[in-house]
Amino acid sequence: MKILILGGSKSGKSSTGQELCRRLAQGPLIYWATMEPCDSEDEARIVRHIEDRDGMGFETIEKGRNIRDAQVPADSTIMFDAVTALLANEMFGKGCVDRDAGLRVIEDLADLSGRCSNIVCVCDEIWRDGTVYDETTELYRRELALVCRKLAESFDVVGEVCCGIVKCYKGSLNEILD
């Protein structure tokens, strides 16, 4: 099963995704972390996330770009956290703006979702404010939305998390969560 989970920051996307993965898994559980830490705040956040999932049975893959290079077992269930950081790394990681990053992320995530048994991709919802951004930030926002809409077309479930509660826009999680 392929699930896309959207929501604001600290809305409960990761914990919801982890729970879905644990219930879906019939093989190895993989937590795919995409954040490339750039300061002590990021490092502290990573430690907190690792503690959060301690004892849940996840094996961690830390890979924030070129995700095609990592092998995963065909029967694995992947918690992919998150599309937001993957696109940022692919778009800005080389020190200049890579305008093709969005298309590459779409292809790479489609490829990854075909190589495992289940995948839950989480992504931050960043499109409902009135800020007029600079051209580069606006490109990132547009491409992130396109990645999500493209994934949403082929995925089985599309949901929005708010306060840890999921509302489904496509498909249903009732059978998994009940």
Partner 1 sequence: MILIIGGSYQGKLSWAVSRYGIKENEILDLAVSDPLPGYGCYTHFESLTRRYDDVSQWLPLFKDAVVISRELGCGVVPMDAEERVWRERHGVLLKKIASGSDSVVRIFCGFPEVLK
Chain positions contacting partner 1, by CB under 8 A: 4, 6, 125, 127-131, 141-142, 145-146, 148-149, 152-153, 158, 160, 169-170
Sheet with 29-33, edge to edge strand ranges: 58-62, 29-33, 77-81, 118-124, 2-7, 157-162, 165-170
At residue 58, the 3 state secondary structure works out as strand
CB of 124 to partner 1, least distance (A): 12
Contacts of 103 (CB under 8 A, 6+ apart): none
Smallest separation (angstroms) from partner 1 to the CB of 125:
7
Residue number with CB closer to partner 1 (45 or 149): 149
Nearer to partner 1, 72 or 159 (CB): 159
Q: Minimum distance from CB of 126 to partner 1 (Å)?
A: 8
**C-beta closer to partner 1: residue 48 or 128:** 128
Say if residues 32 and 61 touch (Cβ distance below 8 Å). Answer: yes
